[in-house]
Amino acid sequence: MTVRQLAQELNMNIISGEKGLDNPIEGGYTSDLLSDVMGNSEMGQCWITLQTHKNIMAIASLKEIACIVLVKGLLPNDDTKQQSNEEGIPILSTQKETFEITGEIYSLLKK
């Protein structure tokens, strides 16, 4: 599944990083502690978080994350968005809470 397909399937808004919409998604990681994400996330995962600080992009880039999903309608800070565009790592936004969207993405990827 690509980031574009994931966004369509779960009706998420594409906020930035359109260049990376064809990135394949190979799994997911849910955490708001960036030190934890740095230590434990894997390449090609979609990362579900409520953090909007631009450091999320640095971590996503370092770990080669496929895309970031922001929960509860949160939007990235301007500098976060800019870096997402530069790096081609998309940021998606959903109105749903972390528990719900994690479950939905999990079910979708398991199919």
Nearer to other proteins by Cβ, of 1 and 58: the residue is 58
Nearer to other proteins by Cβ, of 11 and 62: the residue is 62
**Exposed / middle / buried, residue 16 (Cβ in 10 Å: 0-12, 13-18, 19+):** buried
Segment contacting other proteins by CB under 8 A, of 3-11, 18-26, 32-40, 92-100: 32-40
Instruction: Look up residue 47 and give its amino acid.
Output: W
Q: Would you count residue 34 as binding other proteins (CB under 8 A)?
A: yes
Q: Would you count residue 53 as binding other proteins (CB under 8 A)?
A: yes
- Name which position in 10, 38, 108, 109 contacts other proteins (CB under 8 A): 38
3-state secondary structure of 45: strand
- Name which position in 61, 77, 82, 85 contacts other proteins (CB under 8 A): 77
Least Å distance, CB 49 to other proteins, is 11
DSSP 37: H
Q: What angle do CA 40, 43, 49 make, to 5 degrees?
A: 60
The interaxial angle of helices 78-87 and 55-62, nearest 10 deg, is 20
Binding interface with other proteins (CB under 8 A)? 32-35, 37-38, 51-55, 58-59, 77
